[in-house]
Structure 1
Amino acid sequence: MIQLRAEERAAMRGLLDSVAEDLGAPPAPAWEAAYWAVPRHLFLPDTVWVGDDLEACSRRDAPEAWLRHAYADGSVVTQVNDGQGGDPGERWASCSASAPSIVFRMLDMLDVAPGHNVLEIGTGTGWNAGLLTHRIGPEHVTTIEVDQVLAARAAIRLKDIGLEPRTICGDGANGHQAGGPYDRILATCSVRSIPPAWIAQTKPGGVILAPWESPWFCYGLLRLTVDGHGAASGSFSPHSAFMLMRGQRTDLRIYRDVVRDDQVPLQSSAALSPWAVAGDDWAAQFAIGLQLGDVWWTWHDNPDVEGVASRLWLATTDATTWAAVDWDGRSEDRFTVWEYGPRRLWSEVEAAYRWWNLSGEPSPERFGMTITAGGEHRAWLDAPDRLIPQTG
């Protein structure tokens, strides 16, 4: 039995209360038992990175702060720059321990039962795999991690507390056929498309639960049921934002990869505010992302352009088409639009927003996705036969 210090036990109790408040009820007794048997802090590295600036917090130098981050109901970055280090101004998060409330929400949505065979995509720290292993046993849990160092560390931490699920270093997009077929597949990284191997390795009637990301917006959990004929279908829920699966990343920057000095864009004007589509309205962004598919955005505040206070850039993931929407700092309903390439991206965004608005501004939980046996992803609203429009 793991011996906990008083401050660790108090921190764990506080977090459990926070999770119950977020979920609206305490975790199921089996998951609460797993929580106490698999303390989160035992799975975190000695240095974590916190805040928007990814400031390093060392367990050795600041033990109280480190423990506080370990048991806050929020995500904590556990690796930067794919483990390659980097100066403070160059850090970017490449692995994190998910917020405990979303961990338990996803475990509840997964609906595992004794005897279920489960594949986890994205071992990370190993904490989630530990919770699953405590619940259904090591012979029923396979966890796969693409990063060799992370996979090895997680396996050691799991073994140290007497839990030894099958831990694989490999590309999670390929699943792990040798351990299947699976009753449940759980991804702890977001995806822009469901890998065919996941559907192929899931039993008929089995469940795939994965965080979703469109290039436009990272948000939502997609819970699919596999039909046994190579297809799957299910609904979104309005929770989570996870790091993208490494094999689906796109590393694009506007001035480095997209815009060129010799390009001559078309100029027009618009009344739709760029903040309406790339601001604080998550429902709008989610719906737009499902329609646009391959379009992403980034803000450029105070660009060095006369008469422009803020600019919204749009671009396709193949870097062939872009648009810019300029605000002069004064007008509330007139914006200058620049578009270049074979598509008119701002026109597509306006059409996507208009459809969402005319459809009653539906929230993410009204949307779903069907993946056909041929791998086509079909997004729908309210029912699988009500497909949403696609641009591009």
Structure 2
Amino acid sequence: MTGNTGAAEQAAARGLLGRLNETLPLPLSPEWEAAFDRVPRHTFLPRTVWLGDNLTPCDRRKSPDEWLHAAYADEPVVTQVNDGADPGDNERWPSCSASAPSIVFRMLDMLNVRDGDRVLEIGTGTGWNAGLLAHRVGSALVTTVEVDPALADRATANLKAAGLEPTVITGDGATLEVGKSLDRLLATCSVRRISPAWVTGMAPGGVMLLPWETPWMCFGLLRLTAYSDGTASGRFHPHSAFMLMRGQRTDLRIFRDVVRDDHVPDERTTGLAPWTVTGDDWATQFAIGLQLRDVWCTWHENPDVDGVASRLWVATTDATSWAAVDYDGRQDERFTVWEHGPRRLWSEVEAAHHWWHTVGRPTPDAFGMIVDADGTQAPWLKTPGHPIPIMG
């Protein structure tokens, strides 16, 4: 540990390290254990963090034990709310966090960083990830990009305090020109679209590791290998969820942005239960999200409509088409469907779900993606030679 780390912090860090070595598929390598020791997580957290589902503020000066427990629990810690604006009496929502240490080191292991690798990180956040990478390969080989100027400045200060000076760029990582010489690229925010500059900026054999999201759901890691023909391809891996890259956010609400009083939807029925495609089966949702890549959904409980206990809304991200599926609270065999716009969205959901069933209900790790130099994304099942159908 660094010289300014006290006994309580050292004990908390040793406890976390022990838990990580017990729970990760493999214990930390000597290189990453050394980085963990020399780049203490707590030194990268702000004085105030936000905890729990209600995002309750926790000030280190007022609640030092609770703050330190959060710093060395194997849990994410929210380090900024509302993009840094004072929420006042408004709802708090997370806009930056320090990821759970287990996912941090699982991703670093998947990245397979080697001595001499040139590394780009998208999403500096607190700077802890960049610090671990800089300790591993040297500050001169690490560049990290942060869209939020305040976060970039704080991360730079955190890194310098740890004796590390990777290049910190303030800007949009999606539009950054990265040259043609990267060996590793890591994103610490989820993405829906892969920047062509990332693909063309990788050296042949380079590895990109990207948390993945579709408007339907946020799930998984996409590990791509770059090839000399300017493409990159690789598989999805399970179990991760990150905040979406700011430039790819969509702020949509059904009654504000999508449904209008003059809309006259078509009516029919369906045998596909709405919770079948929105429930706890992540494999179903993942497959549907890959096929309906511009479609999102939200539940409306007790919508104040006669005979309707709950309603699933489905809409496109351009707000031109929508569907609603009603559950009457009694029978679960037939459901009323309303569809409006140029696309029949619930028909697309039915087709996507049917395809997933016909190919054997594959799990997320059976899928992959190939990305061309122009950013064209083509998801595939089992091998790149078997593209999946795209609806819409």
Could you tell me the TM-score, scaled by structure 1's length? Answer: 0.97
SS of the equivalent of 1:304 reads strand
For 2:33 and 2:12, the matched residues in 1 are separated by 15
CA offsets per residue over residues 190-222 of structure 1, 9 Å max, x none?
111110110111111111111111111111111
Q: 1:236 maps to what in 2?
A: 236
Q: 1:138 maps to what in 2?
A: 139
The Cα shift of 1:236 comes to 0.6
SS of the equivalent of 2:155 reads helix
Matched, 1:245 2:245: yes
1:37-52 map, 5 Å: 37-52=38-53
Change (3 A) 1:88 1:283: farther
Q: 1:155 maps to what in 2?
A: 156
The Cα shift of 1:186 comes to 0.6
Bigger CA drift: 9-18 or 213-222? Answer: 9-18
SS of the equivalent of 1:189 reads coil
Q: 1:78 maps to what in 2?
A: 79
SS of the equivalent of 1:144 reads strand
Q: Is the 8 A contact 2:199 2:371 kept in 1?
A: no
For 2:114 and 2:25, the matched residues in 1 are separated by 22
SS of the equivalent of 1:142 reads strand
The Cα shift of 1:231 comes to 1.1
For 1:18 and 1:266, the matched residues in 2 are separated by 55
Q: Is the 8 A contact 2:199 2:226 kept in 1?
A: yes
For 1:167 and 1:376, the matched residues in 2 are separated by 29
SS of the equivalent of 2:32 reads helix
The Cα shift of 1:25 comes to 2.5
The Cα shift of 1:10 comes to 2.1
Change (3 A) 1:388 1:265: same
For 1:330 and 1:232, the matched residues in 2 are separated by 49
Structure 1 residues not aligned, in runs of 5+: none
Q: Is the 8 A contact 1:48 1:77 kept in 2?
A: yes
Q: Is the 8 A contact 1:57 1:65 kept in 2?
A: yes
The Cα shift of 1:228 comes to 2.3
1:25-40 map, 5 Å: 25-40=26-41
Q: 2:168 maps to what in 1?
A: 167
Change (3 A) 1:65 1:88: farther
For 2:388 and 2:176, the matched residues in 1 are separated by 29
The Cα shift of 1:88 comes to 5.4
Q: 2:101 maps to what in 1?
A: 100
Q: 1:224 maps to what in 2?
A: 224
Matched, 1:355 2:355: yes
Bigger CA drift: 255-264 or 85-94? Answer: 85-94
For 1:347 and 1:21, the matched residues in 2 are separated by 46
Q: 2:297 maps to what in 1?
A: 297
For 1:28 and 1:355, the matched residues in 2 are separated by 42
1:1-392 map, 5 Å: 1-87=2-88, 89-177=90-178, 181-392=181-392
CA offsets per residue over residues 55-83 of structure 1, 9 Å max, x none?
11111221111111111111111111111
Bigger CA drift: 105-114 or 88-97? Answer: 88-97
For 2:276 and 2:12, the matched residues in 1 are separated by 40
For 1:36 and 1:342, the matched residues in 2 are separated by 57
> Which letter maps to 2:192?
R
SS of the equivalent of 1:234 reads strand
Q: Is the 8 A contact 1:222 1:237 kept in 2?
A: yes
For 1:50 and 1:270, the matched residues in 2 are separated by 42
The Cα shift of 1:176 comes to 4.5
Q: Is the 8 A contact 1:34 1:134 kept in 2?
A: yes
For 1:21 and 1:372, the matched residues in 2 are separated by 39
Q: Is the 8 A contact 1:85 1:91 kept in 2?
A: no
Bigger CA drift: 282-291 or 71-80? Answer: 71-80
Q: Is the 8 A contact 2:199 2:373 kept in 1?
A: no
For 1:246 and 1:313, the matched residues in 2 are separated by 24
The Cα shift of 1:89 comes to 4.5
For 2:243 and 2:329, the matched residues in 1 are separated by 34
> Which letter maps to 1:349?
V
For 2:31 and 2:212, the matched residues in 1 are separated by 27
Q: Is the 8 A contact 2:127 2:159 kept in 1?
A: yes
Q: Is the 8 A contact 1:323 1:338 kept in 2?
A: yes
SS of the equivalent of 1:208 reads strand
Could you tell me the TM-score, scaled by structure 2's length? Answer: 0.97
> Which letter maps to 2:293?
G
| Moved segments of 4+, more than 3 Å | none
Q: Is the 8 A contact 1:234 1:368 kept in 2?
A: yes
- How many residue pairs were aligned? 391
> Which letter maps to 2:158?
R
Structure 2 residues not aligned, in runs of 5+: none
For 1:356 and 1:31, the matched residues in 2 are separated by 39
